[in-house]
Amino acid sequence: MKKVSKRIGLVEIYTGDGKGKTTAALGLAFRALGHGIRTYIGQFMKGYSYGEVKALKFVKPYIKIEKYGKKGFIHVKKEPEREDIELARKGLEKAKKALYSGKYGIVILDEAITALFFNLLKIDDLIDFIRNKPKEVELVLTGRYAPQRLIEEADLVTEMKEIKHPYRKGVKARKGIEF
Amino acid sequence: MKKVSKRIGLVEIYTGDGKGKTTAALGLAFRALGHGIRTYIGQFMKGYSYGEVKALKFVKPYIKIEKYGKKGFIHVKKEPEREDIELARKGLEKAKKALYSGKYGIVILDEAITALFFNLLKIDDLIDFIRNKPKEVELVLTGRYAPQRLIEEADLVTEMKEIKHPYRKGVKARKGIEF
C-alpha cells in the first residue's frame, strides 16, 4: 500500500436529485485502487446487497464496504424510528474508526446527506466528523439535499441534476445498472 | 458471463461542468461486474494512463478500456488537427465493434460529448451510433456541453454541476483522486 500522507485530502460532496452520486463515489474508489490507495465506504440507509458488494471480491483488500442500515430500510416517509437512528449513529462510529485507522486514503460516507435530511444523523456530528479528519484522507459525502452549512465545510461540491429520467417513463430500477 | 439480453439497455448521458462524469461511468462498470456484466469503455481525447487503467488488472475480463487519443492530447484550444479527428473517428469504429460484439452489457463512450464539442466527432455519427445500438446494451456517453439534439436521443441525462471546486483555490489535479 502506498503512503497516502503525501497528498492533502479534500472534502467532496456529491448531491442533487440526479443519478450518479453513489456511482461516482464507487468510481473514485475504483480509480484509486489503481494507485494502490485503499477506500472505505460506509453506506447509510442501505441494507440490501448491491452489485458493488458482489464486486468486492475482485478488489480485495483495496475497497471495503460496510452497510449501516437494516435490510429493507430504504426510504423514510415519516419520522425515523429509534432503531434506525441508532444504526446510523453506530454507522458513523464505524466510519470514524476507519477514518483514523491510517489504512484508508479515501473514506466515503454514502447517503450520509440523505440520512441527515431524514433526521437519522445530526448535522453537528457530520461537521465534527469532517473537521476532525486526518488531513491526508479524502472524505466523500453523498446524498440529496445537502444543506448550505455542509456545503460550506466542503472543498469540492458537485450537484447531480436530473435533466431526464426513465423512471418518469415507467422504467424500473434495473439489476446491474442502478443497483 | 450472464446473459445481458434480458434487460433493456438505455442511453445515459453524464454532462455538465462538474466533477464526476467519467467517475460515475467507472462506478457503473464496477457495480455491473458484481452482476457478471462486462463493460467496454472507449475514452476519447485521453492518451495517458490513469488510475482506472492500472486498476484493470483486478477486474479482468469484466472491464476493458481503450484510449483513442494520442498521448499528451488533452485539451483542444484551436481547430482540431487532422490526426486527432482521424483518431476519434477510428475510436468510434472500435467502439462500434465492441457494441455489436455481444460481449458487453455496457458500452461507455467517455468524453465523446467533449470530442463532439471540439469537432473531433460529428453529431450525426454519434446519433447513428445511438440509434443502431443493440437494444440490450446500456450505452453511456460522457462529456461537457451536451447539445439538445443529443439529449433528445437519451433516456437518462444527468448534469454534473459545479457548485464548488478546489481548482479555483489553486489545488491541482491529484494522482489517485482526479486521475
Run means of pLDDT, 10 residues per run, chain B, 179 residues:
63 96 95 95 84 90 92 63 92 98 97 95 98 97 97 97 81 77
Looking at every residue in chain A, the average pLDDT score rounds to 89
Classify burial at A165, counting beta carbons within 10 Å of its beta carbon; exposed 0-12, middle 13-18, buried 19 or more. Answer: middle
Give the residue numbers spanning the domain of A93.
Answer: 11-169
pTM: 0.90
**B31 close to A51: Cβ distance less than 8 angstroms:** yes
CA distance A132 to chain B (A): 19
Task: Note which residues in 65-94 of chain B have CB less than 8 A from chain A.
Answer: none
Confidence of residue A176 (pLDDT cuts 50, 70, 90): confident
Q: What is the pLDDT of residue A6?
A: 61
**A81 close to A88: Cβ distance less than 8 angstroms:** no
Q: Which three cell numbers stand for residue A66?
A: 460496510
d(CA B150, CA B130): 9
Residues of B in contact with A35 (CB under 8 A): 51, 54, 175-176
Nearest to A154 among B54, B154, B164 (CB): B164
Domain-embedded: residue A160: yes
Q: What is the pLDDT of residue A73?
A: 52
Are residues A34 and B27, on separate chains, in Cβ contact within 8 Å? no
Does A147 contact chain B (CB < 8 Å)?
no
Number of helices and strands (H, E) in chain B? 6, 6
Beta-strand relationship, B11-15 and B138-142: parallel
pLDDT of A75 over the 70 cut: no
Residues of A in contact with B141 (CB under 8 A): none
Domain-embedded: residue A75: yes
d(CA A21, CA A121): 19
Q: What is the pLDDT of residue B36?
A: 94
Nearest to A23 among B27, B138, B159 (CB): B27
Nearest to A28 among B7, B23, B37 (CB): B23
Does A31 contact chain B (CB < 8 Å)?
yes
Q: Output the domain CATH number for residue A98.
A: 3.40.50.300
Which amino acid type is present at position A171?
A: V
Are residues B163 and A161, on separate chains, in Cβ contact within 8 Å? no
| ipTM surpassing 0.85 | yes
Q: What is the pLDDT of residue B168?
A: 63
Q: Which three cell numbers stand for residue A49?
A: 446487497
pLDDT of A25 over the 50 cut: yes
The pLDDT tens digits of the residues spanning A112-156 come to 999 999 999 999 999 999 999 999 999 999 999 999 999 999 999
Domain-embedded: residue A6: no
Domain-embedded: residue A3: no
Helices B82-100 & B123-131 angle (0-180, nearest 10) = 0
Strands in A156-164's sheet, in edge-to-edge order, are A63-67, A39-43, A106-110, A138-142, A11-15, A156-164, B156-164, B11-15, B138-142, B106-110, B39-43, B63-67
Nearest to B29 by CA among B63, B79, B57, B4: B63
Nearest to B157 among A8, A59, A163 (CB): A163
Instruction: State the residue for C-alpha cell 467517455.
Output: B110
Q: What is the pLDDT of residue A80?
A: 83
What is the full DSSP assignment across B68-131?
-SPTT-----SSPPHHHHHHHHHHHHHHHHHHHSS--SEEEEETHHHHHHTTSS-HHHHHHHHH
Q: What is the pLDDT of residue B52?
A: 85
Phi-psi region of A6 (alpha: psi -120 to 50; beta: other; left: phi over 0): alpha
Average pLDDT of A24-41? 95
Helix (H) or strand (E) holding A66: strand A63-67
Among the listed ranges A25-34, A60-69, B65-74, B120-129, which one has the minimum average pLDDT value? B65-74
Does B166 contact chain A (CB < 8 Å)?
yes
Instruction: State the residue for C-alpha cell 468510434.
Output: B92
CA distance A84 to chain B (A): 26
Handedness of CA A73, A76, A79, A84 (dihedral sign): positive
Domain-embedded: residue B162: yes
CA distances from A40 to A98, A107, A131 (A): 7, 5, 18
**A44 close to A126: Cβ distance less than 8 angstroms:** no
Q: What is the pLDDT of residue A3?
A: 46
Does A33 contact chain B (CB < 8 Å)?
yes
Domain-embedded: residue B5: no
Which amino acid type is present at position A85?
A: I
- Number of domains present in the structure of chain B: 1
Domain-embedded: residue A176: no
Domain-embedded: residue A2: no
d(CA A101, CA A160): 31
